[in-house]
Structure 1
Amino acid sequence: MKRIATAVAAVMLLSACGGDPLQGGNNNPAPTDTIVVGSANFPESTVLAEIYAQALAAKGVKVSKRLNIGNRELYFKGVQDGSIDLIPEYSGVLLKHVNKEAQEVSSDEVYAALKKALPQGLTVLDKSSAEDKDAVVVTKQIAAQYSLKSIDDLVPYCKDLVFGGPAEFQNRPDGLPGLKAKYSCEFKQFKSLDVGGPLTVAGLKDNTVQAADLFTTDAAIKANEFVVLEDPKNVFAAQNVLPLVNEKKASQQVRDTLNAISKKLDTKTLLDLNQKLSSPDKPEPEKVAKEWLASAGI
């Protein structure tokens, strides 16, 4: 708990100080001989970035890291201005970020549309079979109280319930706007919490929020017997893990190395990685990544 409290305090301090790792003159283009690997501000993204960085370094590629940058709205600016060269991404939400009108939902359709929609100079390499979607999650008690199995079941009660999640979920097309458009679900209130972190989990457990946005590979779901509501109208499209990379830095060696990782990654791997990251000893993502690379023979 001490580590969680410290992490939350650090985030609050950063926000209070106006901290923004891609602002204030710190967005210079990456050196031409180096691949700068970034990550979003949640553990799964960080460990995937470590996997990419360590695998490339083992092949003799010069790398540096800028981890825990923040949300997509923030780090994508760095990818576009060239201060970040490589970052682990999720196909469906990335497609919606670059094309808010995208309607594709299946894995292959999303991937094909994404490759066409990316800004010039950026590309995605092979997608893995590993998927981690946003999901509407409730406690076992709330699911039983309202007989909930799907978001459709939730609709009659949305107006009476408080929803929790990261601030950006309020405005993303596959967030609250998508729930309103596809299900006519409008919640009584939205509480801005964190990206599938301790604040969101705590909010569900203490009933501060009755539904929340969590990632489907979050170890907290199983640990707390949370219920992931089915999404029959596909607010949340396919979300295959894949590398987003600066095309200028995507040499054949870089492509081969990252594609080999994608070939080995599956959803069970993501669950296992998250389980290790959330274990009582709280290992560093760097260590978890190193162990996985060794076990995968990469």
Structure 2
Amino acid sequence: MTGTRLNVRTILGTMLAAGALLTAGACGGDDGSAPSPGGDSDPTETTEPGASETTDSAEKGTVAMSGQDFTEMQIMAEMYRQVLEGAGYTVDVNLVGTRDLYIKGLGNGQIDLVPEYLAGIADQLNGDKPFTTNDTQEALSAVEPLASDAGITMLEPSEATDQNAFFVTQDYAESNDVTALSDVAGVGDSVTLAAAPDCEGRGDCEGGLTEVYGIDIERILPTGFGTQQTKDAVLEDEAQLGLSGTTDASLDELGLVLLEDDKGIQPAQNLIPAVNSDFLTENPDVEALLNELSGTLTTDDLAGLNAQVDIERQKAADVAEAYLSEKDLI
């Protein structure tokens, strides 16, 4: 990669420290980031050898990878890591709470690779002005020039997609005859929303709920995206509405009900590799390796992988390895 490349742990450690200070100020000591499946909200560092690691794994150098720290991204980061290590790279993974902690580093070459969501990174690169299209290719065409200007190359989007989704308890749904988000507004009561720290004002989150659906959100609890804290807040009636994703397989088992996005505020959120452009120029084989994974992964696959971690309590590394082996990707 051109230019000076700092040690990934030093860089991300600095970003994490800054992020922790900012979030502590906003949340009164609760960092609000999405935790690991066991409920630990510390950022995840994944550097342990996987079954895909080869004896010459250092020959192609080190890949600095970041991303958001919740179950689905832990699994995606593991799959990226194991695919790349199988091809001879060494991969350092440091996951953080929110996108703004790594997006600048991805553009300037301090970070090489991030597993992303198509509309999510598009909004970030566009100054958080929402992209509302549900069409994958339309969204990709919109984000590619923004990414290029920022020093980032978007690879092939996967068929697998995970959109924001909002849930209530089964009791709330039955008592108020609620099946869709429009029904929540019709109940007429103000609600507390348990969600990710960056939900406020977003068109696919609090902004869309208030402006498009007319839901009166009294406050936001920054308990994270799809975390156990978020689910517990709704189950214990600290919040009436919670944020997760459409691939969250644990909701039914907990007695929680996903609501239909009947006014369509959720854009295309396909899983997609975002790569530093200079890094990709120097390591062009990375594109084919990750595109093969993207071309294999489906939404059903993703939901099943999430369930293995969140419900069956398997490790993300083990789940990723089994899937990649089954699909002949390692």
Q: Same fold (TM over 0.5)?
A: yes
- How many residue pairs match? The answer is 273
| Greater mean alpha carbon deviation, residues 93-102 or residues 261-270 | 93-102
Partner of 2:18: none
TM-score (norm 2): 0.77
Q: Is the 8 A contact 1:158 1:187 kept in 2?
A: no
Partner of 1:64: 92
Residue 198 (1) aligns with residue 228 (2): yes
Matches of 1:93 and 1:63 in 2, distance apart?
A: 24
Counterpart of 1:104 in structure 2: which amino acid? Answer: T
Q: How does 1:170-209 map to 2 (within 5 A)?
A: 170-209=200-239
Q: Is the 8 A contact 2:107 2:150 kept in 1?
A: no
Counterpart of 2:181 in structure 1: which amino acid? Answer: I
**Residues 106/225 of structure 1: CA separation in 2 closer, same or farther (3 Å cut):** farther
Secondary structure, counterpart of 1:4 in structure 2: coil
Partner of 1:4: 38
Matches of 2:93 and 2:120 in 1, distance apart?
A: 23
Residue 297 (1) aligns with residue 328 (2): yes
Partner of 2:19: none
Aligned match for 2:145, one of 106, 116, 140 = 116
Q: How does 1:55-134 map to 2 (within 5 A)?
A: 55-66=83-94, 68-99=95-126, 100-118=129-147, 119-134=149-164
1:101 Cα deviation from its structure 2 partner:
4.5
TM-score (norm 1): 0.85
Q: How does 1:201-240 map to 2 (within 5 A)?
A: 201-240=231-270
What do the CA deviations read for 1:41-68 (whole angstroms, capped 9, x no partner)? 10110110110111011112332222x2
Question: Structure 1 regions of 5+ residues with no counterpart?
Answer: 15-31
Matches of 1:270 and 1:70 in 2, distance apart?
A: 21
Question: Which of the pair is proportionally richer in helix?
Answer: 1
Partner of 1:151: 181
**Residues 120/65 of structure 1: CA separation in 2 closer, same or farther (3 Å cut):** same
Matches of 1:253 and 1:4 in 2, distance apart?
A: 35
1:165 Cα deviation from its structure 2 partner:
0.8
Question: What's the C-alpha RMSD, in Å, of the aligned pairs?
Answer: 2.1
Partner of 1:259: 291
Secondary structure, counterpart of 2:141 in structure 1: helix
Matches of 2:153 and 2:160 in 1, distance apart?
A: 19
What's the % identity of the aligned pairs? Answer: 27
